[in-house]
Amino acid sequence: MQRPAHTLVADNEIFIEVGNDDRIAASLAVPEAATGLILFAHSSGSSRFSPRNRWVADYLNDAGLATLLADLLTSSEAEMDSATAEFRFNIELLAERLVFATDHCRGIDPVKDLPFGYFGASTGTAAALIAAVHGPAPVAAIVSRGGRPDLASQVLPRVEAATLLIVGGDDDVVIDLNQQALALISAPKALEIVPGASHLFEEPGKLEQVAQLSRDWFRRYLSPNLRPEQKPA
């Protein structure tokens, strides 16, 4: 996959305090005249160096959206998880870390005044939905790539962020789980099934379709010039 070209006014590795003298690492990229900030929430088995998420982030940067890819586990937790999978389905912890990252970004230039969105993958989707409901700062839109929103079923009726669920057409079990979750969301929502794509969207051109759908969703719902009641359903 060819990476898109873009001009960044900020491209930094940052550290975010998460309590108990612990911190997580993150990569912040801000294009010129950014119109929103998208925070990525991956599963605990992945990291900010995930090639699929980084490619989507580059695509969003080229579309004028800032991105933050954070390791939601500390270095010691990640090392433990790789050996024991102890944190693999600790959705509440991942959501808590995403809230820390969101709060951190609310205090730094040049993104603090931008509308925020979340991009979730796998169990990170559930973490994003929970963080959007329980976090103190508003989140305008959420996109899920092959995610597990069903793992956040207890909060789905309270989700206010416009939510797009993207699933591969060959990922039958996850399609069913996403359809069940979609029915519980009352906010603006959609389910996009990408024909011929597997769970990881590794087939030629499929990840680009994910990136295009995500770009269009975020552009639609992160516009700072629209009040919530004006945004299209």
Tens-place pLDDT, residues 23-44? 999 999 999 989 999 999 986 5
Dihedral of CA 212/160/91/109: which sign? Answer: positive
Q: If you write DSSP's letter for every residue of 155-206 in order, what string do you get?
A: TGGG--SEEEEEEETT-HHHHHHHHHHHTT--SSEEEEEETT--TT--STTH
CA 202 – CA 185 distance, rounded (Å): 28
d(CA 210, CA 1): 13
Q: What confidence score (pLDDT) does residue 11 get?
A: 75
29 near 48, Cβ under 8 Å?
no
175-198 mean pLDDT: 97
Peptide bond into 110 cis (omega under 30): yes
- Rounding to the nearest 10 degrees, give the CA dihedral for residues 171, 172, 174, 178: 120
Predicted model pTM: 0.90
Question: Residue 130's CB: how many other CB atoms inside 10 A?
Answer: 25
What is the pLDDT confidence band of residue 128, given thresholds at 50, 70 and 90? very high
91 Cα distance to chain centroid? 14
pLDDT tens per residue, range 208-228: 999 999 999 999 999 754 434
Mean pLDDT is lowest, of 5-9, 77-81, 94-98, 182-186, for 5-9
Among 39-48, 60-69, 106-115, 198-207, the least confident range: 39-48
Sorting pLDDT into bands at 50, 70 and 90, what band is 10?
low
Peptide bond before residue 4 is cis, with ω within 30 degrees of 0: no
Mean pLDDT of 59-85: 90
The pLDDT of residue 85 is above 90: no
Adjacent-strand bridge partners of 191: 165
Strand partners, 12: 28
Give the per-residue pLDDT at 87: 79
Neighbouring C-beta atoms of residue 192, cutoff 10 Å: 16
User: Rounded to whole angstroms, how far apart are CA atoms 220 and 16?
Assistant: 29
CB 120 within 8 A of CB 145: yes
Fill in the amino acid letter for 118. Y
Structural domains in the chain?
Answer: 8-230 (3.40.50.1820)
Buried b (16+ CB within 10 A) or exposed e, 202-219: eeeebbbbbbebbbebbb
Strand partners, 13: 27
